[in-house]
Structure 1
């Protein structure tokens, strides 16, 4: 969170102070109260629908990527990236998930389809970075995650 003197953070800037992972209050302060509501809602959703599956851990991705909160069991589930005044969820779409996405292509919101189509495909799949700034964005992410790994409970 420490920026060079005189530098004003820009929307989307990441937390890059590698001395320690951010705590909840640092995340709230950085992403702002509205984004923090979505952050907390997504974390609660994961806890509710995947009870006891994930032990989220903070990863430092270097000065360009900063900190992210990773949810992983054997395979990556998602990573939440606190950014200045917003946050993003990273969802890796492997071959199976890409097939499922394409089957439902016309059900998804157009901006999600564009994000998907524009995402580079790597050996392990497409890495979608979905900026979450509305309930619709949050819904897109929960739908992607449900498609990736069916929930253990239905609440």
Structure 2
């Protein structure tokens, strides 16, 4: 957990206004649909910040921030993988490619980045 959570000004300085707007829209969509615990952490070697959405002790998705870049990770369980496979053609080729190239542990973790 972070000692100091970054404020809007710090996040905008890090990722830029347009990516911070995307960050906020993603958060708003998740918050609107799900009731989850949110945790700020250090982003490890590749990222400056990690913002996790958790429920029942499990991470369901996370947003990542570094200079001029945001990332989004979705963890898919068995049921979600079956749904994806069934509806595969309704997703873009880019999303299908990311899904196919994602290493599976206890469930695929698909990460999308934009800069």
TM-score tier (shorter) = 0.7 to 0.9
Distance 1:36 1:78, change over 3 A: same
Give the C-alpha shift of residue 45 in structure 1.
Answer: 1.4
2:96 is aligned to 113
2:19 is aligned to 35
Structure 1 residue aligned with 2:38, among 29, 42, 56? Answer: 56
After TM superposition, the score normalised by the length of structure 2 is 0.85
2:108 is aligned to 126
* Higher-strand-fraction structure: 2
Aligned pair count reads: 113
Moved >6 Å (runs of 4+): none
- Pair member with larger Rg: 1
Distance 1:38 1:65, change over 3 A: closer
Give the C-alpha shift of residue 62 in structure 1.
Answer: 3.0
- 5+ long unaligned stretches in structure 2: none
After TM superposition, the score normalised by the length of structure 1 is 0.65
Q: In the aligned structure 1, how far is the partner of 2:3 from the partner of 2:46?
A: 15
